[in-house]
């Protein structure tokens, strides 16, 4: 008889493994969860999807924390959004498991972070669409473009600055990211 597991069980085990080892080893997850490889893949889809879910979930929690801090420091509006992004970018840049993944397996990191295979980018755009939209509404701001379009560009700016080392062998530049993100929201 095959053991049945849920996606949440697999994701929880994968998150523990990622935080400990900086990657997700599907064979080790099969052993930990006491399931066959086919069962694990049927439940999670792919390693990239599972890893993307783990990183996306951790990212959501981090954004909530950074937004709460930015809310204490700034009234609703552009500066609150930019401050939340700056704090988030610092956390992401300094997050040892993610930096470890980039060092250990940059190709997987690239796929998971920037393509639909991992879904991290799409999830980030959804989160920032909400943050930008809520702040614009609360502050009664008129934004230069539609919120989903702004959120897409906002996230791409952040990604290109935080992951400059992965994308172009440059050092991450959080100050430039903040300047560009501020300009995007105020043009």
Q: Domain holding 172: CATH number?
A: 1.10.357
**How many domains does the chain divide into?**
2
Mean pLDDT of 115-127: 96
Asked whether residue 18 falls in the same domain as residue 104, the answer is: no
Asked whether residue 8 falls in the same domain as residue 22, the answer is: yes
pLDDT given for residue 169 in this prediction: 82
Asked whether residue 51 falls in the same domain as residue 40, the answer is: no
Asked whether residue 22 falls in the same domain as residue 69, the answer is: no
Asked whether residue 141 falls in the same domain as residue 69, the answer is: yes
Using CA atoms, how far apart are residues 146 and 131, in angstroms rounded to an integer? Answer: 13
CA dihedral of residues 84, 89, 95, 101 (deg, nearest 10): 140
Asked whether residue 5 falls in the same domain as residue 91, the answer is: no
Asked whether residue 81 falls in the same domain as residue 146, the answer is: yes
Asked whether residue 147 falls in the same domain as residue 174, the answer is: yes
pLDDT given for residue 1 in this prediction: 47
Instruction: Read off the pTM.
Output: 0.93
Residue 140's region, left for phi above 0, alpha for psi from -120 to 50, else beta, is: left
Domain carrying residue 30? 1-45
* DSSP three-state, residue 1: coil
Mean pLDDT of 74-100: 96
pLDDT at 2 over 80: no
Asked whether residue 15 falls in the same domain as residue 103, the answer is: no
């Amino acid at each position: 008889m095959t053991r049945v597991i849920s996606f949440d069980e697999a994701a929880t085990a994968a998150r523990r493994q990622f935080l400990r080892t900086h990657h997700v080893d599907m064979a080790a997850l099969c052993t930990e969860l006491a399931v066959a490889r086919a069962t694990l893949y049927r439940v999670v889809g792919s390693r990239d999807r599972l890893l993307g879910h783990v990183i996306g979930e951790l990212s959501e929690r981090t954004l909530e924390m950074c937004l709460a801090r930015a809310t204490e420091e700034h009234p609703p509006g552009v500066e609150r959004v930019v401050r939340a992004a700056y704090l988030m970018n610092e956390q992401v840049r300094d997050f040892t498991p993610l930096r470890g993944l980039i060092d250990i397996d940059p190709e997987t990191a690239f796929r998971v972070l920037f393509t639909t295979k991992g879904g991290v980018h799409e999830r980030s755009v959804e989160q920032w669409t909400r943050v930008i939209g809520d702040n614009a509404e609360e502050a009664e701001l008129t934004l230069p473009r539609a919120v989903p379009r702004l959120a897409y560009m906002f996230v791409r700016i952040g990604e290109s600055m935080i992951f400059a080392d992965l994308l172009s062998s440059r050092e991450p530049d959080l100050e430039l990211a903040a300047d560009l993100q501020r300009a995007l929201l105020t043009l």
